[in-house]
């Protein structure tokens, strides 16, 4: 079974409070080695992007207004992840947004049995330590110089490196 490293960027912290996905990225691997297959989309959230969110990911309303909405990319996304193990850092956050969006479209939610939360793996291995993606990159000497803002595609690639180190 192939794996997919997945990350999203959003307009805020809670789907239930009306926040939406603005970026989704997936990087496919086989035995944790990149297959070269990538799913990456910027998404029109059809709502404002709060200044706090813009400071984190740098995706402006002006940029996002010209992008497809989630309903236009949902099937392509679901086909990309279908039958693959999904590795997410802080999975409950991303899954709340993804399953919320999928629910609005009356599509099946992502099966949690296919999801590995790398944050849980890190917390089990390093209890009590900071286990953010940045902290884990620093712990494993993974280069963070490219990460000036949160970017779903870059974060997927960083997560893959972190996850490999967590398993060793």
Q: Which of 19, 57, 89, 150 is catalytic?
A: 150
Q: Distance between CA atoms of 162 and 42, rounded to whole angstroms? A: 24
CB 45 within 8 A of CB 73: no
Q: Distance between CA atoms of 58 and 129, rounded to whole angstroms? A: 29
Give the pLDDT score at 168: 82
Question: Which position has the token pair 């996905």?
Answer: 21
Q: Distance between CA atoms of 81 and 135, rounded to whole angstroms? A: 27
Q: How confident is the prediction along the chain (168 residues), in pLDDT tens digits per residue? A: 899 999 999 999 999 999 999 999 999 999 999 999 999 999 999 999 999 999 999 999 999 999 999 999 999 999 999 999 999 999 999 999 999 999 999 999 999 999 999 999 999 999 999 999 999 999 999 999 999 889 999 999 999 999 999 998
CB 69 within 8 A of CB 46: yes
Residue 89: active-site member: no
Per-residue CA distances from 101 to 14, 22, 72, 136, 137 (Å): 12, 12, 12, 29, 30
Q: Distance between CA atoms of 141 and 135, rounded to whole angstroms? A: 10
């Amino acid at each position: 079974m192939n794996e997919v490293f997945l990350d999203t960027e959003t307009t805020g912290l809670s789907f239930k409070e009306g926040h939406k996905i603005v970026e989704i990225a997936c990087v496919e691997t086989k035995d944790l080695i990149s297959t070269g297959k990538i799913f990456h989309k910027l998404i029109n959230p059809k709502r404002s992007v709060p200044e706090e969110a813009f400071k984190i990911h740098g995706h402006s309303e002006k940029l996002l207004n010209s992008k497809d909405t989630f309903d236009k990319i949902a099937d392509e996304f679901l086909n990309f992840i279908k039958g693959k193990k999904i590795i997410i850092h802080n999975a409950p956050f991303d899954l709340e947004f993804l399953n919320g969006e999928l629910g609005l479209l009356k599509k099946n939610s992502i099966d949690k049995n296919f999801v590995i939360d790398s944050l849980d793996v890190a917390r089990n291995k390093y209890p009590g330590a900071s286990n953010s993606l940045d902290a884990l990159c620093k712990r494993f000497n993974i280069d963070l110089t490219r990460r000036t803002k949160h970017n779903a595609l870059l974060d997927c690639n960083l997560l893959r490196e972190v996850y490999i180190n967590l398993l060793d």
